[in-house]
Amino acid sequence: MLEKLKDLGILSPRKAEDYKKAWYKFSRNPLSVAGLVIVIVVVALAILAPYVTPYPHHAEYYVDFANANQPPSLAHPFGTDQFGRDVLTRIIFGFRYSLMMAATVLAIVTPPGVILGLIAGYYRDRWIDTVIMRIADIFVAVPPLVLALSICAVLEPNIFNAMMAVSLMWWPWYTRLVYSMASSLRMEPFVQAAEIIGASKIHIMFKEILPNCLGAILTKVTLDAAWVIILGSALSFVGLGAQPPTPDLGTMLSDGAKYMPTIWWITVFPAIAIAVIVLGFNLLGDGIRDIYAAEAR
Amino acid sequence: MSSTLLNVEELQVHFKVYGGILKVLNDVALTVNEKEKVGLIGESGCGKTTTMKAIMRILPWNAIVPKAKIYFKGKDIMKMSDSELKRLRRRSISMIFQDPTAALNPVFKIRDQLFDIVKYANLEMGKNLSKKEIEEEAIRLLREAALPEPERILDSYPFQLSGGMRQRVCIAMALASAHELLIADEPGTSLDVTIEDQILRLLKQIVEEKRTSIILISHALGAVKGFVDRVYVMYAGCIVESARTPDLFREPLHPYTKGLLAAVPKLTGGGIPSGIKGRVPDYMNPPLGCRFVTRCEYAMPICEKKQPRMIKAGNDHEVACFLYGE
Amino acid sequence: MRLITYIAKRVGYTVFVLLGLSILIFTLARVLPGDPARMALSPRAPEWAVEKLREQLRLNEPLPIQYIYWLRDVFSGSLGESLVTRRDVLTDITEFLPATLELLLFALIFDVIIAIPIGMLAGRKANTWIDNLVRGFAYIGVTIPAFVFAIIFLLIFGYILQIAPTVGRLSPGVMPPPRITGLITIDSLITGNFSTFVDALSHLILPSFALALGPIAQEARITRASVVENLNKDYILASISHGIPERLIVLKYLMRPSLIPTVSILGLDIASLMGWAFLVESIFNWPGMSRYGIIAMLRKDLNAIVGVVMVTGLVFAIANIVVDVIVSLLDPRIRMVERAK
pLDDT for the residue B268: 53
Residue C32 pLDDT > 70, yes or no? no
How high does pLDDT run on average in chain B? 88
ipTM of the complex: 0.89
* Comparison of pLDDT for A208 and B139, the residue scoring more: B139
- 3-state SS class at A80: strand
Residue B321 pLDDT > 70, yes or no? yes
Cα dist. C118→C131, C134, C142, C255 in Å? 9, 7, 15, 13
B27: phi then psi, degrees, rounded to nearest 5: 50, 55
pLDDT for the residue B275: 62
* Comparison of pLDDT for C282 and B193, the residue scoring more: C282
Burial of C33 (0-12, 13-18, 19+ CB in 10 A): exposed
E strands in chain A: none
pLDDT for the residue A221: 93
Between strands B311-312 and B75-76, the pairing is: unpaired
pLDDT for the residue A134: 92
The mean pLDDT of B3-8, rounded to a whole number, is 91
B210: phi then psi, degrees, rounded to nearest 5: -85, -5
**Subunit contact C297:A153, Cβ cutoff 8 A:** yes
Q: Are C79 and C73 in contact (CB under 8 A)?
A: yes
Task: Kindly list the residues from chain C whose CB atom is less than 8 angstroms away from the CB atom of residue A233.
Answer: 145
Complete edge-to-edge strand list for the sheet that includes strand B238-244 = B93-96, B181-185, B213-218, B37-41, B230-235, B238-244, B318-319, B311-312
**Which of A101-105, B190-194, C233-237 is predicted with the least confidence, judged by mean pLDDT?**
B190-194
pLDDT for the residue A215: 86
pLDDT for the residue A295: 47
Task: Kindly list the residues from chain C whose CB atom is less than 8 angstroms away from the CB atom of residue A134.
Answer: 16-17, 20
Instruction: Tell me the three-class secondary structure of chain B, residue by residue.
Output: CCCEEEEEEEEEEEEEECCEEEEEEEEEEEEEECCCEEEEECCCCCCHHHHHHHHHCCCCCCEEEEEEEEEECCEEHHHCCHHHHHHHHHHHEEEECCCHHHHCCCCCCHHHHHHHHHHHHHHHCCCCCCHHHHHHHHHHHHHHCCCCCHHHHHCCCHHHCCHHHHHHHHHHHHHHHCCCEEEEECCCCCCCHHHHHHHHHHHHHHHHHHCCEEEEEECCHHHHHCCCCEEEEEECCEEEEEEEHHHHHHCCCCHHHHHHHHCCCCCCCCCCCCCCCCCCCCCCCCCCCCCCHHHCCCCCHHHHHCCCCCEECCCCCEECCHHHCC
- What is the spatial distance between Cα B15 and Cα B1, in angstroms, rounded to a whole number? 37
- State the chains in contact with C (3 or more Cβ–Cβ pairs under 8 Å): A, B
pLDDT for the residue A256: 81
Task: Kindly list the residues from chain C whose CB atom is less than 8 angstroms away from the CB atom of residue A282.
Answer: 139, 142-143
What is the Cα gyration radius of chain A?
A: 23
pLDDT for the residue C61: 81
- What is the spatial distance between Cα C80 and Cα C40, in angstroms, rounded to a whole number? 15
Using the Cα atoms of residue C40, residue C41, residue C44 and residue C49 in order, give the sign of their dihedral: negative
Domains of chain A: which residue ranges? Answer: 2-59+75-296
Residue A11 pLDDT > 70, yes or no? no
pLDDT for the residue A16: 67
pLDDT for the residue B121: 92
Q: What is the pLDDT of residues A38-64, one digit of tens each?
A: 999 999 999 988 888 887 877 777 777
* Comparison of pLDDT for A215 and C41, the residue scoring more: A215
**Which of A205-219, B130-144, B214-228, C197-211 is predicted with the least confidence, judged by mean pLDDT?**
B214-228
Residue A3 pLDDT > 60, yes or no? no
pLDDT for the residue A259: 78
Characterise B60 by phi-psi region: left (phi > 0), alpha (psi -120 to 50), beta (else): beta
- What is the spatial distance between Cα A285 and Cα A208, in angstroms, rounded to a whole number? 24
**Subunit contact C253:B108, Cβ cutoff 8 A:** yes
**Which of B256-270, C102-116, C150-164, C283-297 is predicted with the least confidence, judged by mean pLDDT?**
B256-270
Residue B160 pLDDT > 50, yes or no? yes
Percent of chain B with pLDDT over 90: 52
The mean pLDDT of B274-286, rounded to a whole number, is 72
Q: What is the pLDDT of residues A235-262, one digit of tens each?
A: 999 888 888 788 888 888 888 877 777 7
Task: Kindly list the residues from chain C whose CB atom is less than 8 angstroms away from the CB atom of residue A146.
Answer: 274-275, 278, 293, 309, 312
Q: What would you measure as the largest C-alpha separation in chain A, in angstroms?
A: 77
- What's the CATH superfamily of A2-59+75-296? MetI-like (1.10.3720.10)
Cα dist. C9→A136, A247, C21, C143, C333 in Å? 19, 49, 18, 37, 18
pLDDT for the residue B266: 54
pLDDT for the residue B175: 92
**Subunit contact A141:C283, Cβ cutoff 8 A:** no
Give the gap in angstroms from C-alpha C232 to the nearest C-alpha of chain B.
6
- What is the spatial distance between Cα C149 and Cα C146, in angstroms, rounded to a whole number? 5
The mean pLDDT of A216-233, rounded to a whole number, is 92
Residue A203 pLDDT > 70, yes or no? yes
Residue B136 pLDDT > 90, yes or no? yes
DSSP state of C249: I
Q: Which residues pair with B23 in a beta bridge?
A: B14
pLDDT for the residue A13: 47
Q: What would you measure as the largest C-alpha separation in chain B, in angstroms?
A: 67
Residue A6 pLDDT > 80, yes or no? no
pLDDT for the residue B161: 92
Residue C177 pLDDT > 80, yes or no? yes
**Residue A228's closest chain C neighbor by CA?**
C145
* Comparison of pLDDT for C304 and A76, the residue scoring more: C304
Percent of chain C with pLDDT over 90: 48
User: CB neighbours (10 Å) of residue B77?
Assistant: 20
B22: phi then psi, degrees, rounded to nearest 5: -90, 120
Amino acid at C208: S
**Residue B120's closest chain C neighbor by CA?**
C244
Give the gap in angstroms from C-alpha C290 to the nearest C-alpha of chain B.
39
Residue B290 pLDDT > 60, yes or no? yes
What is the pLDDT confidence band of residue C178, given thresholds at 50, 70 and 90? confident
In our burial notation (b when 16+ CB lie closer than 10 A, e otherwise), range C123-153 reads bbbbeeeebeebbebbbebbbbbbbbbbbbb
Residue A151 pLDDT > 60, yes or no? yes
Instruction: Tell me the three-class secondary structure of B12-51, residue by residue.
Output: EEEEEECCEEEEEEEEEEEEEECCCEEEEECCCCCCHHHH
Q: What is the pLDDT of residues B249-270, one digit of tens each?
A: 888 999 988 888 877 655 554 4
Give the gap in angstroms from C-alpha B184 to the nearest C-alpha of chain C.
12
- What is the spatial distance between Cα B72 and Cα B54, in angstroms, rounded to a whole number? 13
Q: What would you measure as the largest C-alpha separation in chain C, in angstroms?
A: 83
- State the chains in contact with A (3 or more Cβ–Cβ pairs under 8 Å): C
- What is the spatial distance between Cα C49 and Cα C145, in angstroms, rounded to a whole number? 41
- What is the spatial distance between Cα C211 and Cα C106, in angstroms, rounded to a whole number? 10
pLDDT for the residue B264: 64
